[in-house]
Structure 1
Amino acid sequence: MKSTITTYEYSYITQQVNDLVSAYLSVNDRRMRDTVRATTLERITPLLPSEDPISQEFLRRLQPDRLSRDAAAKLLPTLEPLVVPFPELSIKQLSKLFRKVKKLKQPEWADLNLHELTYLGWNDGGSQKKYLVAPYQDRLIGIQGDLAPQVVKGVCAICQTIGNVSLFVSTTKKSGLGTYTRNGNYICRDSAQCNRQLTDPQALTEFLSIVRPKR
């Protein structure tokens, strides 16, 4: 079995299925529910490997006229074998991505679902730092920045969803004169939640182009 679904595609499928469940719970007209289900299947079917039995079973179980939230929550993880997970990096690999950080706080790997991560992000509350590891131009890069303690309601620059965000600022360029440039934006304080809401990687790429160190 070959994993072919990206993590952000998996987030998109999850979003579509949850929207379908919401329609089932709020729409009484049978024909309208049929229309919503057909639209959902039209959107997610092209993302699934057509000949794979996991895909076929998943689509079959979406067919009933009613799908509860509990049933959907049990159904969605059945796709995980088809999802390309984010790599679990060793301490040595992480250290290479953050060479200038002397005491790098490690992410809580046990609490993460790698099948939901388009990027890896974790907070160090003691130093008010946030660390990001993300794909950029066909390789993984590591970015550290200051994370403001203030939490506000706003749009995340990465997942483009309204939620609890904080200002993330990183040093992007230094000169021999001791001056430096800092850039950033508001992003989700909870990176795991951000990943679950991330259905298009373009905004992530644009954010990384702003906050990554430049020579």
Structure 2
Amino acid sequence: MEPTITTYEYSYITQQVNNLVSAYLSVNDVKMRGVVRATTLERIVPLLPVDDPLAQTFVHGLQPDRLTREAAAKLIGMIEPLVIPFPQLTTKQLSKLFRKVKKLKQPEWGSLNLHQLTYLGWNDGGNQKKYLVAPYEGRLIGIQGQFNPETIKGLCAICHTIGNVSLFVSTTKTSGLGTYTRNGNYICRDSAQCNRQLTEPQALTDFLTVVRPKR
């Protein structure tokens, strides 16, 4: 079967299963654990492909009254083949997205799990820059910006989660010849972690609408 689960849905499923495990560890009442389990299944089953054997095994594995974190991690990994991966772009494809960058630092593809990426982001610490490739209006776009080396605890503009964030400043062209606007947003220092926390696409779309290059 072709993958049907989006990466942000996969993150949401992962979040729900981890919450279920936390409930199992903290709630002693059997009936209450049953309620939490039923609520979890109600939230994630609609996101899974109907009649797929992997999905069925995954759901069955959530049925026991107790679930360890190790067992949960194995279950979550089981459905990874059902997730639509982020495309692995060639050097040429990336260069086309960042035409004005003469020496584009490439992302470390070997360290990335494409099944967990709603967007691609990597840091160029030497030049204090960050590069983002993300889907926007049916196509991939490239965003670059200055990335402050200072890290603080704050709210990420992309995943809307409190964590280690840095100031990302992009420059976009506005109406009028030669008129530019600088946009500053705090986003996760670690884009892989940000992706794992990204459970719905609207915040990313809103962020891209502000920082994307204007033609």
AA aligned to 1:111 is S
AA aligned to 2:122 is W
AA aligned to 1:91 is T
Query: Equivalent residue of 2:41, what SS?
Result: helix
2:112 match: 112
- Map Cα deviations across residues 127-178 of structure 1 (whole Å, 9 max, x no partner): 000000000000000000000111111110000000000110111117655x
Q: Distance between the aligned counterparts of 2:121 and 2:27, measured in 1? A: 38
Residue 184 of structure 1 deviates from its aligned partner by 2.5
Pairing 1:38-187 to 2, within 5 Å after superposition: 38-173=38-173, 176-177=177-178, 179-187=179-187
1:203 match: 203
2:28 match: 28
- Map Cα deviations across residues 51-89 of structure 1 (whole Å, 9 max, x no partner): 100110000000011100011111101111110000000
Give the 4+ runs in structure 1 shifted more than 4 A. Answer: 174-177
2:3 match: 3
AA aligned to 1:85 is P
TM-score (norm 2): 0.97
AA aligned to 1:156 is C
Q: Distance between the aligned counterparts of 1:50 and 1:44, measured in 2? A: 12
Structure 2 unpaired stretches of 5+: none
Q: Distance between the aligned counterparts of 1:42 and 1:181, measured in 2? A: 45
Taking only the aligned residue pairs, the percentage that are identical comes to 78
AA aligned to 1:80 is E
Q: Distance between the aligned counterparts of 1:74 and 1:110, measured in 2? A: 21
Matched positions, count:
214
Query: Equivalent residue of 1:145, what SS?
Result: strand
AA aligned to 1:104 is L
Q: Distance between the aligned counterparts of 2:181 and 2:60, measured in 1? A: 53
Q: Distance between the aligned counterparts of 2:84 and 2:145, measured in 1? A: 27
Query: Equivalent residue of 1:159, what SS?
Result: coil
RMSD over aligned CA atoms reads 1.0
- Map Cα deviations across residues 3-51 of structure 1 (whole Å, 9 max, x no partner): 1000000000000000000000001011110000000000000000121
AA aligned to 1:22 is S
AA aligned to 1:86 is F
TM-score (norm 1): 0.97
AA aligned to 1:146 is Q
Residue 2 of structure 1 deviates from its aligned partner by 1.1
Query: Equivalent residue of 2:106, what SS?
Result: coil
Structure 1 unpaired stretches of 5+: none
Whether the aligned pair in 2 keeps the contact of 1:171 and 1:211 (CA below 8 Å) is yes
Query: Equivalent residue of 1:72, what SS?
Result: helix
Q: Distance between the aligned counterparts of 2:117 and 2:184, measured in 1? A: 21
- Map Cα deviations across residues 83-137 of structure 1 (whole Å, 9 max, x no partner): 0000000000000000000000000001000000000000000000000000000
